Structure 1
Amino acid sequence: MGFNSGMASTSPSVVWPAVHEERRALIRDLEPLLPSQWRTPSLCPGWDVHDVLAHVIDSAKTTRLGFIRRMVASRMDFDRDNAVGVERERTPDPGKTLVQLQAALSRTSGPPAGLGTRLVEAFVHGEDIRRPLGIRRDYPAAHVATALHYQVRTSTKMGGGKEIAEGWRLVATDTSFDHGDGPAVEGPAIALLLAVSGRPIAEDELGGPGAPVFLQRKL
């Protein structure tokens, strides 16, 4: 199994500026939304666009100690904890919720996990929101590859995509990323990241000899 390591660093001085830029970009993209658009179902089952924004804010505010306390309160149920966080951060007015993301934009806190999780959250949830709204963003491919590197080595039980990636050679076509053994599945890093994160993607986003079966397995 190989990995081409020509990717962005996971050092705080690299990750946090990238995360902060994604938060700024999301604010810019969401400011023009009409009230009805906020109710658009996201790629996260059961959550609309407004819910995902509230989750992004909740995640940005999370501290290591706070995360541990919350896990105890939710009896180690991640879904329950996420639901509580969304309810806490979601306001009746989506515009006011968006202001809360602006207030949390420069935060550098997070749960007790690798900094790669911050990039995963930024990119995957960005697409959870943008894709259903028809909004396109060109993500920084090297940073997406860093997030992808984290996901393919993290169990699905911990929010990763290791089991989904197993048995395939995943190759990014827009940056240096080559992971695994098996039939090759090729495409932009963001499409590969979404796929191993359990999100639906279009058939034409991935190519290579392994793509047809991989996509069938995913969809």
Structure 2
Amino acid sequence: MRVPPGTVWPVVHEERRRLVADLSVLDDEQWGTPSLCTGWDVHDVVAHLVDSAKTTRLGFVRRLVAARFDFDLDNARGVERERRNDPQETLRALTDATELTCTPPANLATRLVEAIVHGEDVRRPLGIRAGYPTAAVMVALEYQLRTGVSMGGGKELAQGVRLVAEDAGTSWGEGDEVRGSALDLLLAVSGRATGPALPGR
């Protein structure tokens, strides 16, 4: 299922702006807080978001070839490239990238996954609460449920269970029920160790 660009980019741009605003008051210690994304601190995640926002289709292919099709290596190189010595400079780089509409050769729903999941990767450890458009969360969640783990999704993580989004009146799959908000389910199927526990995680 392809997502119309007109329904994705306004949400992505707004989420980038909101994240910049939330992080603009952090002190140096908070920038070093471990995120929900294993191995990355808050500063690393923001650097990744800058890199992701600037990644074009052709650039992604070239980089992946250079990384010998190792997604983790490509991501690590992207963080290293965009992570400034001063976290505020990295945050300014994200501000500068706010309105970009670059994307790798993937479903546009991945842009919603990036914006929402990585937003929570840094907000939750920092104790920052945020709401997201339910429709956008649902698009991201449904994409993750269709996509294998090897491609950044969570299809295998949700096998054998029935996911119930209590705030959206929607469910997926069959098996033992796993209940939560659509956002918590999105984080769970994205491999984050928070919210509902999935048997495949």
Deviation at 1:187, TM superposition (A): 1.1
Instruction: Give secondary structure in 1 for the equivalent of 2:106.
Output: coil
Pairwise mapping of residues 122-141 of structure 1 onto structure 2 (< 5 A)? 122-141=115-134
**1:102 maps to which residue?**
95
Length-normalised TM-score, structure 1 = 0.88
Pairwise mapping of residues 1-219 of structure 1 onto structure 2 (< 5 A)? 10-202=3-195, 206=196, 215=197, 217=199
Instruction: Give secondary structure in 1 for the equivalent of 2:199.
Output: helix
Amino acid aligned to 1:87: E
Q: Check whether the contact 2:63–2:74 (CA below 8 A) recurs between aligned residues.
A: yes
Count of residue pairs the alignment pairs up: 200
Deviation at 1:139, TM superposition (A): 1.4
The separation in 2 between residues aligned to 1:178 and 1:112, in whole angstroms, is 29
The separation in 2 between residues aligned to 1:76 and 1:184, in whole angstroms, is 36
Deviation at 1:10, TM superposition (A): 2.2
The separation in 2 between residues aligned to 1:36 and 1:180, in whole angstroms, is 42
Structure 1 residue ranges without an equivalent (≥5): 1-8, 207-214
Identity of aligned residues (%): 61
Runs of 4+ in 1 over 4 A off after TM superposition: none
Name the structure, 1 or 2, with higher relative contact order (CA <8 Å, separation 6+). Answer: 1
CA-atom RMSD, angstroms? 1.4
Deviation at 1:177, TM superposition (A): 3.0
The separation in 2 between residues aligned to 1:67 and 1:216, in whole angstroms, is 31
Q: Check whether the contact 1:50–1:90 (CA below 8 A) recurs between aligned residues.
A: yes
Amino acid aligned to 1:14: T
Deviation at 1:216, TM superposition (A): 6.6
Q: Relative to structure 1, is the Cα distance of residues 64 and 176 closer, same or farther in structure 2, using a 3 angstrom cutoff?
A: farther
Length-normalised TM-score, structure 2 = 0.96
